[in-house]
Amino acid sequence: MTYLFFGYVVIWTILFFYLVFLMRSQKQVNDKLKALSETLDQHD
């Protein structure tokens, strides 16, 4: 069972880093939207 354990740990680690990547990219999108809405508010 040891090989299955390590196999799944590797798969989970890859999935985990994909989650981290998604989280980071959403934060960047959120920051850009915030800046954009503030700019639009100033123009109004």
The contact set with another protein (CB under 8 A) reads: 1-2, 4-5, 8-9, 12-13, 16, 19-20, 22-23, 26-27, 29-30, 33-34, 36-38, 40-41
Smallest gap from residue 35 Cβ to another protein (A): 10
Q: Look at the alpha carbons of 24, 25, 29, 30 in this order and tell me if their dihedral is positive or negative.
A: negative
Element of type H or E holding 16: helix 2-43
Smallest gap from residue 32 Cβ to another protein (A): 9
* Separation between Cα atoms, residue 33 and residue 24, nearest integer Å: 14
